[in-house]
Structure 1
Amino acid sequence: MRSFKVISVALVLVLGVGCKKKKAADPGPGTGGTMAGTGTGGTMAGSGSDTMAGSGSDTMAGSGSAVAPEPPKKEIVVILAADQKWGPMDPSAPDKSPQVAPLWGDMTKEANGFLIKVKGGSPGMAHTHSGSYHGVTLAGSPSHLQDGDKKPVALPAGSYWFQPGGVAHNSQCLGKEDCMALVHYNDGKSDFAPAELKKDGKRDAKHVEKVVKDIKWVALMPDMKDKSPMIADVWGDSASGAFGRHWKLPAGFATPAHTHASDYHGVVIKGTVMNHTPDDKAPKEMGPGSYWMQPSGLAHVTACKAGSECLMYTYSLGKFDFVPVEAAGGDM
């Protein structure tokens, strides 16, 4: 229990938030978390009917107002790698098409996130999307040719890229290993249109590629030295709004129970991660390719299983905060 208290105090000092009472959940920016039309978890459902059946009878006798209904229950969503529901992006060519596994949102009409898998040796084809998207490699080494590129830049597991909307590119998987990545559109639907690359053109200035070996890491808690989680923000401003962040957790590390003011989505790139409520005695162990969604205001613990360092990526719908709460169930 002493080590738990030390970690908790260190987090409070670094983040400057202090121990305080839990705040009401902030719904965050309207990127949504619904799984409309996807059929794979993620929906924060639970709002029931407010009908006050039996009004006018003895049920409400002596009362001038109805009892307020309980708010929908918030739950952590976990989809293990083995449980992902894969299907062809192009149903008319299921054997040749990249495979996709929806995670949140409706790909056809709203902000969304999904996993995409491309067979090794795929040369791809030039195309565009109407909207911009963020991508993180989970397996293999895909590349994304842009106007004027002479040769592809391999983006191995842990690498990040940003593809601007309306810009022609060719997403390839030239190695022998299949490529898998998380893709998320924060502002609208996912679509696809054939295009042509300009050999004498130049890369769009908004296109970003960050190879994992070049990502700059900083300690979340410098006083903990090599026992501190390491973080690297790859897009956005974590102090003011939505952002994407890479995390490295030491093997065996566990946070104290805490909450955030905004929902976030997470994927595991390496190691085994657990993200669970403090009273969960048998949390699901998430290996590479697993996904979870953490609702705002819900107390949880994030941990890395002993034996191997954990690497993960999270997309938060609002700025970063960390509010410690009383741990349930005693010593963690």
Structure 2
Amino acid sequence: MKRAIFTVVIMSTLVFLTSCETKVKVQKEKDSNTIENKIPKSINNPTTKVVLASEVDWSYLNPKRKDKAPMAGTLWGDRKGTEATGFLLKPKDGFSSPPHIHNVSYRGIVISGLIHNDDPAAANMWMPSGSFWTQPKGHVHITSAKGVNTIAYIEIEKGPYLVLPKEEKFDSGERPVNVDKSNIVWLDASEVKWIDKAGASIAFIWGEPKTNQLNGSLIKLPAGFNGKIYTKGETFGAVVVKGAPEFLGTENKTLETGSYLSSKGEALHNISTKEEVVFYVRTNGEYNILSK
């Protein structure tokens, strides 16, 4: 009887120890699969570049109209060339363009002020900061602005970017999109594997984010965030839509709204915030956001 009890005790102990070892092993596997453990501590030969909004050179968007046209400041690329380009658009308060078309399609993000972009006969739909729109090539439209410091970010995939008369309209097969900031859908760490529990969130606004094709998204970082954005995409560009984050590098820089952060290939972008910050991101790969 005593021997049977002793055997039961030994078996129970072995089962308990085995269970503990299994739990430890599973926990180690979970720990090794966390975002932080997948990201390097540093990157050799970083390719990160920063363009501050205050460093941008401004010129007339449509030189033929001179001061009747908005100002434009290139952040990357060359809107007069054939390459993909991103630039800032700065219309005056009360600006309203004549009906016109473009030879290329573009995407836009409102940074400050209010923008209306639609068919000439459409009622005004003023889009505030954080709103997104697309304008198909060949479609007749007008663009209007309200606010003393209205700025938008404009992006094309192929240049040159030209303003042409409405008489040259054509149907590209594309259709315009206007998304007010109130209709942006934000996802947090419980829904997106790319971010840890740092309070950050992501909104996917165009393209397929799980492929190596170009796609666009918004990143929202909370006040007091201190962490990293890790990217491996061959193309990565981020424009500050809201706030003034600190970029922590060999030389710390404050990225005022409209500033541009970019990299090619594997890169770590160290960011800290005092207030809520929103980035617009154009990339051809996944990225990760984690706190330190």
Task: Give the TM-score normalised by the residue count of structure 2.
Answer: 0.76
Kept in 1, the 8 Å contact 2:209–2:285? The answer is: yes
User: Residues 114 and 322 of structure 1: is their aligned pair in 2 closer, same or farther, counting only changes over 3 Å?
Assistant: same
- Distance in 2, matches of 1:233 and 1:120, equals 30
Look up the match of 2:281. Answer: 314
Whose relative contact order is higher, 1 or 2, with alpha carbons under 8 Å and at least 6 apart? Answer: 1
Look up the match of 2:17. Answer: none
User: Residues 129 and 257 of structure 1: is their aligned pair in 2 closer, same or farther, counting only changes over 3 Å?
Assistant: closer
Q: Which 4+ runs in 1 deviate beyond 6 A? A: 223-226
The structure in which a higher percent of residues are helix is 2
One-letter code aligned to 1:320: E
Structure 1 segment 288-307 matched on structure 2, within 5 A: 288-301=257-270, 303-306=271-274
Let me know the Cα RMSD of the aligned residues. Answer: 3.3
Kept in 2, the 8 Å contact 1:221–1:228? The answer is: no
- Distance in 2, matches of 1:91 and 1:144, equals 21
Matched, 1:286 2:259: no
Kept in 2, the 8 Å contact 1:263–1:294? The answer is: yes
Gaps of 5+ in 2: 1-29
Matched, 1:192 2:163: yes
Look up the match of 1:102. Answer: 74
Look up the match of 2:184. Answer: 215
One-letter code aligned to 2:203: A
Q: What is the deviation of 1:185?
A: 0.5
User: Residues 19 and 186 of structure 1: is their aligned pair in 2 closer, same or farther, counting only changes over 3 Å?
Assistant: same
Partner-residue secondary structure (3-state), 2:68: coil
One-letter code aligned to 2:164: A
Kept in 1, the 8 Å contact 2:93–2:148? The answer is: yes
Q: Report the number of matched residues.
A: 255
- Determine which structure has more spread, i.e. the larger CA radius of gyration: 2
Partner-residue secondary structure (3-state), 2:111: strand
One-letter code aligned to 2:246: M
Look up the match of 1:126. Answer: 99
Partner-residue secondary structure (3-state), 2:254: coil
Kept in 2, the 8 Å contact 1:250–1:304? The answer is: no
Partner-residue secondary structure (3-state), 1:120: coil
Matched, 1:238 2:209: yes
Kept in 2, the 8 Å contact 1:272–1:287? The answer is: yes
Partner-residue secondary structure (3-state), 1:95: helix
Q: What is the deviation of 1:254?
A: 2.5
User: Residues 102 and 256 of structure 1: is their aligned pair in 2 closer, same or farther, counting only changes over 3 Å?
Assistant: closer
Look up the match of 1:5. Answer: none
Kept in 2, the 8 Å contact 1:98–1:116? The answer is: yes
Kept in 1, the 8 Å contact 2:51–2:260? The answer is: yes
The structure in which a higher percent of residues are strand is 2
Gaps of 5+ in 1: 1-8, 26-72, 199-203, 325-331
One-letter code aligned to 1:115: L
Look up the match of 1:249. Answer: 221
Partner-residue secondary structure (3-state), 2:267: coil
Q: What is the deviation of 1:95?
A: 2.3
Task: Give the TM-score normalised by the residue count of structure 1.
Answer: 0.67
What is the aligned-residue identity percentage? 26
- Distance in 1, matches of 2:229 and 2:135, equals 36
